[in-house]
Structure 1
């Protein structure tokens, strides 16, 4: 009796091989959770900021995740809603992008975001997407214009060290649910 090798279509064979491996998607940050301790960069590689420590002593803070610095939606639509919102002045706001610290610094200083620094909005770089991964807020930007793993567009309100509100865009990049009016 001879054994014959059965030829399967490549899509079916690949699906069978993938079933052998299990990979659970990361759970997104939820109400009641603490913000993960991750070292982010502010303005330069040497200026390290542990976001969990930064917000630990604050009564209320907002973390805004954006897919990319200088992208049209981030610069023209999303972050300007926080710059112009009256509650931003009294609510420490951290904008986090999967970029290097030189890019986030240049973006913060750009004309598009004039007024952000005066309000105390801080721009933090997450160059390896470590914070985005721990927040469970990543998407594969390589299938579109971003070219790599990126932050989903989201906003998280933290009060007394615990998450009290999580808002994310259903399509990862749109600007409907995460504007300052809906978050603050």
Structure 2
């Protein structure tokens, strides 16, 4: 059994779904492990998706098209109490279907830096022709867990920044705490084009 699993937020039942982040043109930087605390715009926002107009319930972890780890204050406090390091919590506004801001506070978890630990021998992939440092058409994702420093409980992978990993023991504590919206899968099940 691996020490890490993939974070894959879910929106079950009447849980709201969110589109791409607004008011932040450089949102790719969150996938690049770039510190953003000083430059992140105060009006960055996620709006509930028009494709799911009847879904309005807010979960603790939000599914979004950007593949970001978006959490509420309760999850943030939990992660801080667990001593999660190497992250920034970037405040982001939530807008309902009518564009009105909701009261609850949410944060994008910016994971710093990216960790170079993909096992290129076991992972099936193609190199991105536009950026050979990036992998595409990925299956059978495998990582060298021994290359992940012990103090990283959540992280993004250097060559596959869309994949977010979380330590299995931490996610088990989060499940016991009852946080909604936190989907996880085994690393080997990750697929991306």
Q: Same fold (TM over 0.5)?
A: no
Query: Larger C-alpha radius of gyration, 1 or 2?
Result: 1
Under a length normalisation based on structure 2, what TM-score does the superposition of the two structures give? Answer: 0.28
Larger helix share, 1 or 2: 1
TM-score of the superposition, structure 1-length normalised? 0.28
